[in-house]
Amino acid sequence: MRTVARIALAAVVVAALGAAAQGQPAERGVSATEIVVGTTMPLSGPAAFWGVPISGAMEAWFRHLNDQGGINGRRLRLVAKDDGYLPPRAVANTRELVERDGVFALVSSLGTANVFAARDYVIESQTIWITPLGGTDIWAGFRQRKYLFVTYPSYIEEGIYLTTYAAANLRARNIAVFYQNDLYGQQGLLGVKRGVDRARGTRLVAQVSYEVTDAEVSAQAQKMRESGADTVILYATPRHGALIVREMARLGFRPTLLSSFTLADPAMFALAGEAWNNVYLTAYFPLPGTGDARVDATLATLSRINPALARNPFNAIAGVGFVEPFLEGLRRAGRDLTKDRLVSAMETLRNWDGEVMRGVTFGPDRRQGTNRIFMIKSEAGRYTKLTDWYTYPTRF
Amino acid sequence: MFTPLAPGRAAPGLARIPLFAVARTLVERYEDDLYLVKGPAAWTAVAALLIGLAALPFLLPRLGMGYLLFIAVLASANVIVAVGLNLLVGYAGLISLGHAGFVAIGAYASGLLAARLEVPWPAAWLGAAAISAAFGFLVGLPALRLTGPYLTIATLGFGIAVYQVLTNWTELSGGRGGLSVPALGLGVGGMSAIQQLALVAITAAVALCWIAYNLARSHIGRALAAIRDSDIAAEVTGVSLTWYKTLAFAISAAYAGVAGAIIAQALRHLEPQAFTFLESITYFAMIVVGGLGTVTGGIIGALLLTLIPHYLSGIKQWLPIAYGAVIIAMMLFEPQGLYGRWLRIRRYFKAWPL
Amino acid sequence: MIQFGQYVVGGLATGSLYALVALGIVLLYRSSRVLNFAHGDIATLATFVAFTLLGRAVPFAAAVAAGLLAAAALGAAFFFFVLRPAREASLLGKIVITLGLALVLSGVMLVTWGADTQVFPFPLSDTRVYRLGGVVVSEMSVGTIGAGMALMGLMYGLVQRTTLGLAMRAVAQDATAAQALGIPARRIYALTWGLASALGGAAGVLLAPVVYLDPYMMLDPFLKGFAAAVLGGIDSLPGAVVGGFILGIAENVFAGYVSFKFKTTLAFAIIVLVLTVRPEGLLGREYRRRV
């Protein structure tokens, strides 16, 4: 028996060597049987609540695809590294993923600071870069973006939409913004300011910031109450979003609430309770549990492979959304995969619908894969869709 | 509480031990004893080390380990911060949990000088060191009255203040949108950008370590050690506390400033997020793990605490557990810092057949 | 005036949380001169233990007691199995060991309970409010302010009025002399570690319903608690409470009337100013020393 096993093993090794010798590796990270994809994320530290479910979902989704035979006969392998949300470590990981682990493509990289720090290197090394999460608007006017593909909404455009929607449909006049004091919140604020310029009769009465390290936000709530705002727009993490709405409710201050899509997380109902009723939010993909069969099926698949993901459905689904267009590009590029073939294949995506992302479009001059959002509303512990897609102009 | 006790308190003691066990020549004059490197064997070892370090930027890509160049740059920067911090904590017995603030000041100063005023990079780096030193002097002023946890909180607050100013003074720093830093150029053909930076960073680290070795055994080093062991006794013997305490902060900050300039080049895009309280704590851990009050200890600690998280990054969310366990294990294994272990190994081999 | 009162009340609520954290830091510092960087993580762990038990339908008081006991056991065990063997380490060395512990604990919590933000159930309501002439104060805030005062009184009584407290003070002053007098110094140290950790756990349990539970919820409160302890004088228990309240109120009032963005900077600026006038903190006594 042992002899047989040894012979079999030897045969496999010889076959593998032969295959390796034959199919000369045409492209880094692509072998006859495998495609290697890398990511660096905050998997520990205060931003881990974001990085863990997103990378976990990508890994689970890859396993799901591999169980079905992979893509064009190749299995997908994700190499994930922890950067603790620290820019130097993110860059070190990125370089190692490219130069040592030899990944075919990089997926994401979380946080503006980390994306900025890694940007020069990724662009110069001509590595495929899928949806770096650091504010979509930083790519506007950026020229060397052949290998860059972004399917994430713009916070500025979102701010404009939220404001104009509130003015037109919710009788908003005096608007206050509660925002995180980093590029995410600042771009949202910028969007709201532009929206106020467009919507006649509205004005910005308060812009109140918090630091992501702040434990509580009672002074912010009171400041907004004093400003006499009838409408409050939120750009916050789930924790701070829940804190501020509860604090406002406690003060008896109940303005019309609108929020960025980052809070379109079902977890908000548990965190904020009653206070998370009648909040108007945007979304850029159909949320789990809102009647979209494909999204719900995706979540079921993810939860089956990694049960922990069921606790964080919103970020898990978003994680699939980030990689989905790239996977479709791999399918379209065919068996003979190279970097440039992938780019050409990605550029054929026209209004493409995936399991999560809908209406993704790329082109020779277009790297902003999505430019659509829609409005939802929170009612009695669930989100309901209010509007159809709102489309804003692409900028890159 | 914060009076560190460390091996090699008499700073010149470092110099007395040759790098390898060789038959020692008789020391005939005091001047002979003061030489940092003694004897041909020691010189050979030092020369080999320097040549090895200089060759690193060229060697690593040949060996297919080019990705380590960036780590080498980070390690050089961390070595510089740690050696500078050790002069403050280990020699002068003062404490700082805000060194990320000085690193940030150095990084932004070099970046702004190069980007806005178009100063050539060597001048921008010197400017970064000088500006950071000036802030070090200012932070040193409360240190004249504060010790222990009180000084800890004052320096910690300084680090947080720097972070908040850089975040919110957008006209100066670009805020959270960041600041782009022009790349340094050596004007040497055939070298990639990261090779050039690695060469410059390693050279800076070696030069600053050499200066630190010499500072430590100069009258400044002795004055700082005297302040650490008893500031009242030191003052009675004529050591000016005002001058030396603020000097220690200024020197330490200048080191951090140069390190900041290196990090600015490594990231090429500065954002306050790179300079948080967490970094300050890591710098502090480096010198304690390596060994307080010795230059070599700072180097060892900085190298270890740069490499460990990097090599552990693949174990994902288990990283903090392994990293913390390694730190605890190192402190249990060698409570005085790893430099003590290194000394003991060397002594063992020196006495070897016995 | 009502506005100002509201900012003060908000500051009092926050300040009571800082004070609770500061109490544990001070208790430990008095006895061992060690600054415990794992204080916040031990507190969070205790809260998670209570949280898990609450999820299994254990009554609130029992769950919290179990959490505090777990924290106390962890603190005492850490002293016996890690700090004792490392007695050769300098104080800075011991501080770095607590940093290592903080990393390990945060990692263990991340792996065990995940990084998600969780709701910690609490018998007092955060949204039920009292109105005092226009100023709104929640039931929860009253509870935490009360708990902060009560725990401070309890600790003060324990340290100043009991034999155990006398032994603790003796060991803190001179461990060798205390041991020569027959005081079991090691056990007193372990007890202090356990007590300080349980105090931290209490802070965590009171904090979690206000700021939500996640493995990193104590990061900022720990730093502010440490700052409050120093402001009040790091060897003074009443100082910890005074420092906590001053810090909380100053932060809130400054944020309300001047700037949210420089809130933390201001808090530290105040502390540095106070310390330049009184280097031993508001109620501390450490600086009297002989040459």
> Is residue B209 domain-resident?
yes
Q: By three-state DSSP, how is residue A93 classified?
A: helix
Judge contact between C15 and C245, C-beta under 8 A: yes
CA A40 – CA A97 distance, rounded (Å): 9
> Is residue B344 domain-resident?
no
Is there a contact between B153 and C265 if contact means CB atoms under 8 Å apart?
no
DSSP for chain C, please give it. -HHHHHHHHHHHHHHHHHHHHHHHHHHHHHHH----TTHHHHHHHHHHHHHHHHHTT--HHHHHHHHHHHHHHHHHHHIIIIITTTTTS-HHHHHHHHHHHHHHHHHHHHHHH-S--B----SS-SS-EEEETTEEEEHHHHHHHHHHHHHHHHHHHHHHHSHHHHHHHHHHH-HHHHHHTT--HHHHHHHHHHHHHHHHHHHHHHHHHHH-B-TTTTHHHHHHHHHHHHHH-TT-HHHHHHHHHHHHHHHHHHHHHT-STTHHHHHHHHHHHHHHH-TT-SS--TT----
CA C161 – CA C263 distance, rounded (Å): 39
Chain segment A378-390, per-residue pLDDT in tens:
998 999 999 999 9
Please count the other Cβ atoms lying within 10 Å of the Cβ belonging to residue C186.
Answer: 14
Q: Which chains touch A (3 or more CB pairs under 8 A)?
A: B, C
CA A127 – CA A130 distance, rounded (Å): 10
The DSSP code for A84 is T
Is there a contact between B160 and C276 if contact means CB atoms under 8 Å apart?
no
Chain segment C235-270, per-residue pLDDT in tens:
888 899 999 999 999 999 999 999 899 988 988 998
CA A123 – CA A145 distance, rounded (Å): 7
Residues in chain A within 8 Å Cβ distance of B315: 82
Phi and psi of A384, rounded to 5°? -125, 145
The residues, any chain, with a CB within 8 Å of residue B246's CB and separated by 6 or more, are: B136, B137, B140, B141, B143, B144
Read off the pLDDT of each residue in B107-135 and give the average, rounded to a whole number.
95
Which residue reads 């913004």 in tokens? A177
Please count the other Cβ atoms lying within 10 Å of the Cβ belonging to residue C55.
Answer: 11
> Is residue B160 domain-resident?
yes
Task: Please give the pLDDT value at position A19.
Answer: 44
What are the C-alpha distances in Å from B102 to residues B90, B245, B292? 18, 17, 20
Which residue reads 């205390």 in tokens? C178
Q: What is the 3-state secondary structure (H, E, C) of B53-97?
A: HHHHHHHHHHCCCCCHHHHHHHHHHHHHHHHHHHHHHHHCCCCCC
CA A255 – CA B95 distance, rounded (Å): 49
Please count the other Cβ atoms lying within 10 Å of the Cβ belonging to residue C9.
Answer: 22
Phi and psi of A338, rounded to 5°? -130, 170
Given pLDDT bands bounded at 50, 70 and 90, which one contains residue B9? very low
CA A271 – CA A263 distance, rounded (Å): 11
Phi and psi of C176, rounded to 5°? -65, -45
* Chain C contact for A312 (CB, 8 A cutoff): yes
Spans of chain C, pLDDT less than 70: 286-291
Residue A209 β-bridge partners: A179
Q: Which domain holds residue B213?
A: 57-181+190-277
CA B170 – CA B272 distance, rounded (Å): 11
What are the C-alpha distances in Å from A220 to residues A58, A246, A273, A345, C258? 36, 12, 20, 48, 12
CA A290 – CA A307 distance, rounded (Å): 21
How many percent of chain B have pLDDT more than 70? 90
Chain segment B282-317, per-residue pLDDT in tens:
999 999 999 998 999 999 999 999 999 999 988 888
> Is residue B31 domain-resident?
no
Higher pLDDT, A137 or B69: B69
Residue A6 β-bridge partners: none
Given pLDDT bands bounded at 50, 70 and 90, which one contains residue B23? very low
CA C41 – CA C43 distance, rounded (Å): 5
Please count the other Cβ atoms lying within 10 Å of the Cβ belonging to residue B151.
Answer: 22
Task: Please give the pLDDT value at position B25.
Answer: 55
Single out the residue of A216, A251, A253 nearest to residue C131, CA to CA.
A251
Q: By three-state DSSP, how is residue A222 classified?
A: helix
> Is residue B121 domain-resident?
yes
A57: Cα separation from own chain's centroid: 12
Is there a contact between B271 and A52 if contact means CB atoms under 8 Å apart?
no
Chain A nearest C-alpha distance from B135 (Å): 24
The alpha carbon torsion through C190, C192, C197, C202 (nearest 10 deg) reads 140
Domains and CATH numbers, chain C: 2-277 (1.10.3470)
Task: Measure CB to CB from residue C126 to each of A181, A211, A246 and give the nearest one.
Answer: A246
Task: Measure CB to CB from residue B4 to each of C90, C269, C286 and give the nearest one.
Answer: C90
Task: Measure CB to CB from residue B292 to each of C90, C108, C279 and give the nearest one.
Answer: C90
Q: Which amino acid, A263? A: L
Is there a contact between B168 and A119 if contact means CB atoms under 8 Å apart?
no
Is there a contact between B319 and A85 if contact means CB atoms under 8 Å apart?
no
* pLDDT reading at B22 higher than 80: no
Residues in chain A within 8 Å Cβ distance of C252: 218-219
Which residue reads 């600041």 in tokens? B179
CA B61 – CA B58 distance, rounded (Å): 6
Task: Please give the pLDDT value at position B136.
Answer: 96
* Chain B contact for C116 (CB, 8 A cutoff): no
Single out the residue of A141, A143, A97, A105 nearest to residue A126, CA to CA.
A105
CA C22 – CA C228 distance, rounded (Å): 6
Single out the residue of C37, C6, C8, C10 nearest to residue C21, CA to CA.
C37
Residue A352 β-bridge partners: A360
CA C205 – CA C221 distance, rounded (Å): 13
Q: By three-state DSSP, how is residue B210 classified?
A: helix
Task: Measure CB to CB from residue B327 to each of C96, C223, C279 and give the nearest one.
Answer: C96
Rg of chain C (C-alpha set): 19
> Is residue B266 domain-resident?
yes
Task: Measure CB to CB from residue A44 to each of B267, B310, B317 and give the nearest one.
Answer: B317
Task: Measure CB to CB from residue B167 to each of A84, A93, A181 and give the nearest one.
Answer: A181
| Tally of domains within chain B | 1
Chain B nearest C-alpha distance from A136 (Å): 12
Residue A391 β-bridge partners: A372
Phi and psi of A308, rounded to 5°? -60, -25
Q: What is the 3-state secondary structure (H, E, C) of A123-176?
A: HHCCCEEECCECCHHHHCCCCCCCCEEECCCCHHHHHHHHHHHHHHHCCCCEEE
Interface of C with B in 117-176 (CB under 8 A): none
> Is residue B82 domain-resident?
yes
Given pLDDT bands bounded at 50, 70 and 90, which one contains residue B232? confident
Q: Which amino acid, A60? A: A
- Each residue's pLDDT expressed in tens, for chain A with a length of 396 residues: 445 555 555 554 444 444 444 444 578 999 999 999 999 999 998 889 999 999 999 999 999 999 999 999 999 999 999 999 999 999 999 999 999 999 999 998 888 889 989 998 999 999 999 999 888 888 888 888 899 999 999 999 999 999 999 999 999 999 999 999 998 999 999 999 999 999 989 999 999 999 988 888 999 999 999 999 999 999 999 999 999 999 999 889 999 999 999 999 989 999 999 899 999 999 999 999 888 999 999 999 999 999 999 988 999 999 999 999 999 999 999 999 999 999 999 999 999 999 999 999 999 999 999 999 999 999 989 999 999 999 999 999
Burial bucket for residue C124 (CB in 10 Å: 0-12, 13-18, 19+) = middle
Read off the pLDDT of each residue in B106-135 and give the average, rounded to a whole number.
95
Residues in chain A within 8 Å Cβ distance of B70: 91-92, 95
Domains and CATH numbers, chain A: 24-153+290-364 (3.40.50.2300), 155-283+377-391 (3.40.50.2300)
Task: Please give the pLDDT value at position B4.
Answer: 44
Is there a contact between C265 and B165 if contact means CB atoms under 8 Å apart?
yes
State the first-to-last Cα distance of chain B, in angstroms, to the nearest integer: 40
Is there a contact between A116 and B269 if contact means CB atoms under 8 Å apart?
yes
The alpha carbon torsion through A303, A304, A307, A313 (nearest 10 deg) reads 0
Residues in chain A within 8 Å Cβ distance of B274: 86-88, 113, 117
Single out the residue of C89, C97, C79 nearest to residue C31, CA to CA.
C79
CA B283 – CA B253 distance, rounded (Å): 13
> Is residue B196 domain-resident?
yes
CA C97 – CA B289 distance, rounded (Å): 9
C98: Cα separation from own chain's centroid: 15
